[in-house]
Amino acid sequence: MSQAVRHDAMRARNLALVLGEVGARGAVTRAALAEITGLTKTTVSKLVGDLIEGGLVVETGAVRDGERGRPGVEIRISGRHVAALGLEVNVDYLAVCVVDLARTVRLRRTQAVDNRAALPVDSIARLGDLAANVVDEAVEKGLRVVGGVLAVPGPVDRATGDVRNAPNLGWRDVPLASLLQHFPFPVRVENEANLAALGELWFGSGLPDFLHVSGEIGIGAGLVVRGRLFRGAHGFAGELGHVVVAPDGPQCRCGGRGCLEQYAGQDALLAAAGGVRGQLGVAQVAQRLREGDERARAACERAAWALGVALSSAINLVDPGAIVLGGIYAPLFRWIGDVVGDTLRARLGQMRGTVPPVIVSRLGAEAAALGAAGQVIEQVMADPAALLHT
Amino acid sequence: MSQAVRHDAMRARNLALVLGEVGARGAVTRAALAEITGLTKTTVSKLVGDLIEGGLVVETGAVRDGERGRPGVEIRISGRHVAALGLEVNVDYLAVCVVDLARTVRLRRTQAVDNRAALPVDSIARLGDLAANVVDEAVEKGLRVVGGVLAVPGPVDRATGDVRNAPNLGWRDVPLASLLQHFPFPVRVENEANLAALGELWFGSGLPDFLHVSGEIGIGAGLVVRGRLFRGAHGFAGELGHVVVAPDGPQCRCGGRGCLEQYAGQDALLAAAGGVRGQLGVAQVAQRLREGDERARAACERAAWALGVALSSAINLVDPGAIVLGGIYAPLFRWIGDVVGDTLRARLGQMRGTVPPVIVSRLGAEAAALGAAGQVIEQVMADPAALLHT
DNA sequence: ATATTTAGTCCACAACATAGACTAATTCGG
DNA sequence: CCGAATTAGTCTATGTTGTGGACTAAATAT
């Protein structure tokens, strides 16, 4: 429910408006901000003054624009004070990163760990150490880490931040919220596929509308519409892996049959490409593809066709502006992109004038950790007043 | 992009907040409104004063609540002044209705017309006459019609309000916007499936989260999340009819194969139920079902199974709070509801604790016209200041 | 060197919400 | 039946914030 608007809320919104415009345009003078926002020069000056005082933006030197008249002073987002922590637990690695308010990645660490074999508590403790290190380094650089988000591969209870069941990780009822309380700033928990999509939004293509597909053991999707993540009624939207490809297809672990995961999930793809299960990684498949291995090629084609079928359902339902393939699909894009695109055109081309373009994510495995940190930054950008008054 | 907030915007938002609370609770005193909204009694009194002056709310007599202290005066939405026009063109009928601000349906008219056989201009002219009549009647009742929305079965260009292609009606490039200009209030155009979903939201079950399925010749779906319609990047979301049920199934008019429409669309269902095409209506099939006709039963079962398969994909993707079956599925619900539910439970039950309930729409064919009028009402509720200042 | 132009600041003012005093209308207790 | 207590609603002084126009600052054009 919306809240009452008082003078402080008015100010908070206008601060966010100005900060947002500065972020969107990179560098703007106060005069230009007044023009853009419709606020008066007076108001913009006062707002910018507050933002400068809070360390969120900085004045850069005067502009020599060659026009006549007094040159304006450009304002830009300051990356020197406020920063955010991104954390990720995945099946076979831990990752942390620190991102500043200008969305520059200042620090990152990755550690290869088999988190399926470890206890959740130990994985989290290890991640905590890793995070403590980068936070210390960030503090040395003069940064103030104002919050963190942890990406986990599985559904997260939005209310408590706990994980009820993350099958890929072997986690059940892990009280994450309480394990993350020792940080000197709030840390929230969020689904990895959602955060990967947001990572793509803030650090990748820059498109405002897309469906990001995270190919891992499961296949998650994050839908971004007008720069906002779509979550559904309970926060479980985006389970692309269990969209039906063929209703009488192979039995899936979810209880259904013929789910996408059985055709294009990591396990199915590797099994089809290489024979002995567990012996082959995605990198090796890519290598074999480069060498022209026929079996690997056929496996990719089948997976890509299935992905195309599932995506055609997804496009009909949610009308995304583009399809971004990430996770294991990123290194395999050369061999699956076209088949996916052709399948979409065959199934959708007649109905819709244009089929959403299928593009590859440029972020790789970092996407989720970046999205996690980015979400904190986004929160600051959306409500800078909350930070200024503390 | 968000806009600058000035004093007038602050006031506008608080007016909307108060009006919204009055709408949500039916009847509230100023004191209760102050408590609920967090605004002071002074402010609430002033806001309510403005709303009364504008005819949007009325004071009803003092409350005798038995408590001690001065009794409050209850405020409720006034249905006596502001009203909205809902219009619908469908394949075989035209419909108009007038709804007041209290969301009471004040007038409705339906006319059976074969709009596929008629020229678009003639259909619209006929609809215009029908609308002019009810608007006159509304004016006689002291109502002020402040806007209208027209529901059409097909994708609508959100920018212009024109219809590029509505295959079920046989419309191509109909400049609806210009045909609707003669009304003394603005009339927008919107997709019929979306409006039917909104009709369900405002005049039906009252649920805030659901996917409404409009079974007609095509199968449209409207997704409502937290009381808001999800439209997708271009406004074409909800094409449930072309979600894949079986990738090698029957050829569909969209170019794909095995789309839901080929199993559960009106034509497919009637053909499977009755043999000779075009000879049978949904009402007759329902009659045969009541008589225990085996062929009709089998047709429904097949359609329901396919609907379940497509909906399981939809639920995985968009995570709706419930499934509401409308259009032709409403009269057939007795014979399809259980199969749909069973299919969903079989495909989703293991993954999700609970499967969204499958319920029937209570609105029938009026859903879209009601949703159309409701959308205007909703606009007034969301920004009453726009109406007060004119 | 002076006029012109544009950027940014200053100040009086207006709009709106707040806080608390005040009035109004009811119930409770004697 | 009357006064105390209680709750609803109004009135007034005050504070915060944005506006608009005057003013100062710093550049280019002539």
User: What is the structure's pLDDT at B105?
Assistant: 97
Q: State the SS3 of B251-274.
A: ECCCCCECECHHHHCHHHHHHHHH
pLDDT in single tens digits along all 390 residues of chain B: 689 999 999 999 999 999 999 999 999 999 999 999 999 999 999 999 999 999 999 999 877 777 888 999 999 999 999 999 999 999 999 999 999 999 999 999 999 999 999 999 999 999 999 999 999 999 999 999 999 999 999 888 888 888 888 888 999 988 898 889 999 999 999 999 999 999 999 999 999 999 999 999 999 999 999 999 999 999 999 999 999 999 999 999 888 999 999 999 999 999 998 765 556 789 999 999 999 999 999 999 999 999 999 999 999 999 999 999 999 999 999 999 999 999 999 999 888 878 999 999 999 889 999 999 999 999 999 999 999 977
Asked whether the beta carbons of B282 and B336 are under 8 A apart, the reply is: no
Q: Which of B9, B246, B256 sits opposite A312 (nearest CB)?
A: B256
Q: Are residues A217 and A357 in the same domain?
A: yes
A269: closest CA of chain B, how far (Å):
19
B138: closest CA of chain A, how far (Å):
33
Q: Which of A20, A237, A246 sits opposite B317 (nearest CB)?
A: A237
Q: Are residues B112 and B246 in the same domain?
A: no
Sheet holding A323-327, edge to edge: A228-230, A219-225, A210-215, A323-327, A358-360
Q: Which residue is nearest to nucleotide D26 (CA to C1')?
A: A70
Q: HSE of A360 in the Cβ direction (CA atoms, 13 Å)?
A: 14
Judged by CB atoms within 8 Å, which residues 324-343 of A form the interface with B?
none
User: What is the structure's pLDDT at A66?
Assistant: 74
B2: in domain: no
Which among A260, A168, A247, A174 is positioned nearest to A221, based on CA atoms?
A: A260
Which among A170, A162, A165 is positioned nearest to A187, based on CA atoms?
A: A162
Contact residues, chain B, for A226 at CB < 8 Å: 233
CA B27/CA B328 separation, integer angstroms: 37
Strand partners, A219: A215
Distance A40 CA to D24 C1' (A): 18
User: Among A26, A53, A77, where does a domain finish?
Assistant: A77
- Greatest C-alpha distance within chain A: 73
User: What is the structure's pLDDT at B349?
Assistant: 85
Total domains in the fold of chain A: 3
Q: Are residues B340 and B238 in the same domain?
A: yes
A2: in domain: no
Contacts of B107 by beta carbon, 8 Å cutoff, 6+ apart = B96, B97, B98, B134, B137, B138
Which among B179, B146, B181, B183 is positioned nearest to B163, based on CA atoms?
A: B179
Q: Do B242 and A312 touch (CB under 8 A)?
A: yes
B66: nearest nucleotide, CA–C1' criterion: C27
Judged by CB atoms within 8 Å, which residues 203-232 of A form the interface with B?
209, 221, 225-226, 230-232
Q: Are residues A357 and A244 in the same domain?
A: yes
Q: Which of A1, A238, A350 sits opposite B317 (nearest CB)?
A: A238
* CA B130 to each of CA A42, B152, B192: distance values in angstroms, whole numbers, following the listed order: 54, 16, 19
In A, minimum Cα distance to B10 occurs at A5
CATH code of the domain covering residue A34: 1.10.10.10
Q: State the SS3 of B151-187.
A: EECCCECCCCCCEEEECCCCEEEECHHHHCCCCCCCE
In B, minimum Cα distance to A44 occurs at B4
User: What is the structure's pLDDT at A277?
Assistant: 57
Strands (E), B198-270: 210-215, 219-225, 228-230
Q: Do A317 and B236 touch (CB under 8 A)?
A: no
Distance B10 CA to D22 C1' (A): 28
Q: Are residues B358 and B371 in the same domain?
A: no
Contact residues, chain B, for A44 at CB < 8 Å: none
Q: Are residues B112 and B41 in the same domain?
A: no
Q: Are residues A270 and A348 in the same domain?
A: yes
B207: tokens are 């649920």
User: Among A53, A77, A101, where does a domain finish?
Assistant: A77
A232: in domain: yes
CATH code of the domain covering residue A212: 3.30.420.40
Q: Are residues A209 and A358 in the same domain?
A: yes
Q: What is the mean pLDDT of each run of 10 residues along chain A (390 residues)?
A: 91 98 96 97 98 97 80 96 97 96 97 94 95 98 98 90 88 90 95 97 96 95 98 95 97 93 95 74 92 94 98 98 97 97 93 91 94 98 92
Distance B48 CA to C30 C1' (A): 40
CA B327, B333, B336: angle at the middle one, nearest 5? 115
Asked whether the beta carbons of A273 and A299 are under 8 A apart, the reply is: yes
Neighbouring CB atoms inside 10 A of B388's CB total 16
Q: Are residues A57 and A189 in the same domain?
A: no
DSSP-derived letter for residue A116 is T
Q: Which helix (H) or strand (E) holds A137?
A: helix A120-140
Residue type at B259? C
A157: tokens are 């209870």
B330: in domain: yes
DSSP-derived letter for residue A242 is G
A23: in domain: yes
Q: Are residues A190 and A316 in the same domain?
A: no
Q: HSE of B97 in the Cβ direction (CA atoms, 13 Å)?
A: 26
Residue type at B338? D
Q: Are residues A128 and A257 in the same domain?
A: no
B326: in domain: yes
B182: in domain: yes
Q: Do B255 and A346 touch (CB under 8 A)?
A: yes
Q: List, for residues A144-168, the tens digit of each pLDDT value.
A: 999 999 999 988 888 888 888 888 8
User: What is the structure's pLDDT at B277?
Assistant: 56
Neighbouring CB atoms inside 10 A of A56's CB total 24
Q: Do A20 and B7 touch (CB under 8 A)?
A: no
A174: tokens are 């892990």
ipTM of this complex: 0.93
Judged by CB atoms within 8 Å, which residues 249-288 of A form the interface with B?
253-257
A345: closest CA of chain B, how far (Å):
9
B50: in domain: yes
Tell me the residue range of the domain where A178 lies.
Answer: 82-198+367-388
Burial of residue A258 (number of CB atoms within 10 Å: 0-12, 13-18, 19+): buried
Q: Are residues A212 and A354 in the same domain?
A: yes
Which among B72, B337, B341, B97 is positioned nearest to B202, based on CA atoms?
A: B97
Asked whether the beta carbons of B87 and B190 are under 8 A apart, the reply is: no
Rounded to the nearest angstrom, the gap between the alpha carbon of residue A148 and the centroid of all alpha carbons in its chain is 14
User: Among B77, B97, B117, where does a domain finish?
Assistant: B77
